Structure 1
């Protein structure tokens, strides 16, 4: 018998590695627990690069209490993630005992796909598609990426519902018409929706530029280093985040009084700093090179706060958002020129930015996802 108050959530939950993804996972799980459901998290992150046995513990994910199962790990992470699906036979039994009404799968990865194929209970399977196999450069030949792609083709047929990080992924996957679908590039949490939004460009002394996100080459770390060294006159840059390039960015920022590097900050401070910016940047490496298989969560948060967003080309989530973001080629000289003209650009797009903010508030809120779950799953 399926218990309507229980949910299995299968995800690589690792705030240390993917803070933005972890925040989204936390918000969705909190939605379930607030509605009175018990959540079993099967954490597939394989964060420990050492031999470790399978663990079952009571844990907290954000503010939500869950039962967490962590599969065994090995010193060789790629190997461990490739063979972890053997563990699915154990988790299948666990989920059956758990009598879940919903199995929520964060991405179509190898483990999640085998879990879907092995699961024999009557739960509704939901795929949350945040990126596609081969969308991210993991370096070299990656057996797991191949297993991800192959297994997903079979596993997705068992799902009853999907969420997609952008509309282009939805179109490419050609999901059957009878499956429930929801575009979900971000999920606004309570902390950002409680912010008293400030109108940008109220300080005539300088243009306040902000970047808040991953500090890796793929996400624009190299572009940020170049910008630090060539900040336009009359502009101030604030950077927050973590990643493989954090030390380089920190050291570069120390040499420039018009640049602040805040490191990793709590959410209250994060949204306050975003809100006090005039221009917010997304210098991500062109996502076309990733087959448009991802979407930076922060872009919608930037727009919700009604700031001018300057970004490299983005996949479509909807036409309004596409028309609102100011797109640049990735060239740093072009970026500097746009920053200097940012007030005029903002004034020309102010109504669009307001409409985009309202659209994001309505469509990518906790209540919108809650309605989707209640009505469609």
Structure 2
């Protein structure tokens, strides 16, 4: 079976409008999380990572749009335009487009938003992206809670292996909005300070916003300097609860095991884990159990939520892209803010950014509804 690669990529975040700006700040262990007192989105003070609106507008207008786009659409267009330009891939009928998001244009329901409410349909969002770039193939929407970003990569891989496409662009994004912040606040899950995944003194989750994009391809001539090979992937639902993960980590454990089997490697071959790590009590505990059951207790592990917050349907793709750069820079990025272990099972948390020769990493994600996904990537 042909190898499938992740290649050219872009990250639009509070750090800037390219992947390099984000990687540079993470290497310096600088978070983009900031405290906000913005009554428009939440009546209480909250900690978040938000994209600079002035900078985004400038980047978006440089694309010479022919119609108005929502804020999320602008983020997605800016990210994907850069990835498509660098890859030089023309959107023929052999090129697919997959959009990963949790809530899409949910902000159109907010008071004063100028766009019609039917813009909230995810199909409408996909169509806007398709039309802007002239994709011949119908956009595929992957919206499966917070595993969406990793799952979208897996779906792209499967389409290529099945012969439907030669190349697939995956673009992901979610916003910081009234709806999302009020929802997590109702769970009493929001932290007013930067989150500290797996730490004994963690106080909850932060919500962030980002857009990210990547080219998935079988063509070795299209790989970039930070390309990785997809060795294996899997997705399992533990069907435990609408918002609470399995107490035994069953879904994540099975996802990791199946991905390892597909990759034909043992747990000892994993150099580090880019984990979900939301800094909520139940999620972090579940992950510690699943990783121990999978024989990965000693594997170096980080969560990038302490840099971006939880970017929902974009988080898995965002964190995979950072993992790609991590491999090629032979650098283990710190899980910022971690002080002492606050879960019942041992984990090897990366406490400081460290140089190390690494070739393979495991990316995991877990989300509402019992969804769990794992993917294994290897440096090219």
TM-score by length of 1: 0.27
- Relative to its length, the structure with more helix (as a share) is 1
Compare relative contact order (CA 8 Å, sep 6+) and give the higher one, 1 or 2: 2
TM-score by length of 2: 0.27
